[in-house]
Amino acid sequence: MDIIVTTNLTKTFNGFTAVDRITFSVKEGEIFGFLGPNGAGKTTTIKMLTTLLYPTEGSASIAGFDVLKQRAQVREHIGVVFQEPALDTELSCRENLDFHARMYGLSAETRKKRIIEVLTLVDLLDKKDVLVKNFSGGMKRRLEIARGLMHSPQVLFLDEPTLGLDAQTRRAIWEYIKQLNKNENTTIFLTTHYMDEADFLCEHIGIIDHGKIMVMNTVDVLKKSVGNDVITLVCSDSSALIQRLSQESWISKITPYGSFLTLGVERGEEKIPVIFDIARAVNVSISSIDVRKPTLDDVFLYYTGRRIREQTETVVNRTIKSPGFHPRRRR
């Protein structure tokens, strides 16, 4: 059964189209990911699906309820972890969860039980009476995820769940998400601009750029569509080489990017000598070359003509250099 269905969902802000007629569906019990750079329209889509923004055009339904006409029922079936922190920092960890639980009408018994369960899950049980303003970015994020799970929603929306977290916390959160999906059969809709995150978590992904879905499929199919192997090279005259290589039928796709040239091929290691021969024949010298299995980054480049990585690289570097620090990037 399709638990999320959208038809031509559109949102314009003062003439700027943030989300442009997107149509997709998510099956019950799966982890579905929206992959795209910042400003692609991911958060706007989540806000429309969670009844926080009114769509300009089109329609959407969650668990069979229309997001425009049955807002209360939609809200009862979903949990949301927002990209921006949405905690009351003047309240303690437990008070934030208690607030949430009462807003969702949980009984006193269930509240107590669930608070302990979810805090154990995110490893914050010993911090339950600490005011949230004293939490680090990573702790706040974990608390927010715990809160999203409090009322055992049918669909959980996660907007950039690990944005700016350190590598260790990201891993842990990924594990929680997987467990939750498996144990409570929660459908998960997440947005991310991290390739590895989408790769690790999602069965289906949609690549979104400039408010449009460029392609939607399983991660495996998407990677295969690029080619079995990807060859990346740097050469002295890429236009001459592109011209010559485009005559070769064994290259599924040639994508120039800066000084790089990316080729989708079968059995890449055997093609390297062939490419060298061709380059020599047209008087082009190759200064570096490598062959690897396609990643989602290659998929992204293939379908959008640009790389998602350029904006995220700085964050990744910072995370690796200072594992004890919990950076959290905010708009």
Partner 1 sequence: MMNHKDFQAIYMLWLRQMKRFLRTKSRVVTTIVQPLFFLFILGFGLNIAVFPGMQGSYITFLAPGIIAMAILFSSMFTGVSVLWDRQSGFLQEVLVAPVSRLSIVIGRTFGGATVALIQGFIIMIIAIALGVQVAGVGGFLLTVLIMVLLSFTAVGFGLILASKMRDFEGFQSIMSLIIMPLMFLSSSFYPINESLPDWLRVLSFCNPLFYMVDGIRGSFTGINSVLDPLVDLGIILVICIVVMGLGTYFFNKSEV
Q: How many residues bind partner 1 (CB under 8 A)?
A: 29
**Is the separation of the CB atoms in 49 and 22 below 8 Å?**
no
- By CB under 8 A, residue 103 contacts partner 1: yes
Q: How far is the CB of 154 from partner 1 (least distance, A)?
A: 12
Choices 75-83, 121-129, 210-218, 292-300 (CB under 8 A): range interacting with partner 1: 75-83
Closer to partner 1 by CB, 94 or 307: give it.
94
Closer to partner 1 by CB, 20 or 144: give it.
144
Measured distance CA(201)–CA(329) in Å, rounded: 22
Percent of residues in the chain assigned helix, strand, coil, to nearest 5: 40, 30, 30
- By CB under 8 A, residue 94 contacts partner 1: no
Number of neighbouring beta carbons within 10 Å of residue 316: 13
Choices 93-101, 115-123, 190-198, 248-256 (CB under 8 A): range interacting with partner 1: 93-101
By CB under 8 A, the residues from 147 to 176 that bind partner 1 are: 147
Closer to partner 1 by CB, 39 or 85: give it.
85
Choices 58-66, 69-77, 262-270, 302-310 (CB under 8 A): range interacting with partner 1: 69-77
By CB under 8 A, the residues from 226 to 285 that bind partner 1 are: none
- By CB under 8 A, residue 90 contacts partner 1: yes
Give 17's contacts (C-beta < 8 A, 6+ positions apart): 10, 11, 211
Residue from the set 57, 66, 95, 203 that interacts with partner 1 by CB under 8 A: 95
- By CB under 8 A, residue 84 contacts partner 1: yes
Measured distance CA(92)–CA(261) in Å, rounded: 53
- By CB under 8 A, residue 17 contacts partner 1: no
Closer to partner 1 by CB, 48 or 226: give it.
48
Helix (H) or strand (E) holding 113: helix 108-121
Q: Is 108 left (phi over 0), alpha (psi -120 to 50) or beta?
A: alpha
Q: How far is the CB of 299 from partner 1 (least distance, A)?
A: 31
Token duo for residue 305: 């003509």
- By CB under 8 A, residue 82 contacts partner 1: yes
Give the E-state strand segments of the chain in sequence order.
2-13, 16-27, 31-35, 57-62, 65-66, 78-81, 155-159, 187-192, 204-209, 212-218, 229-235, 253-257, 260-265, 286-292
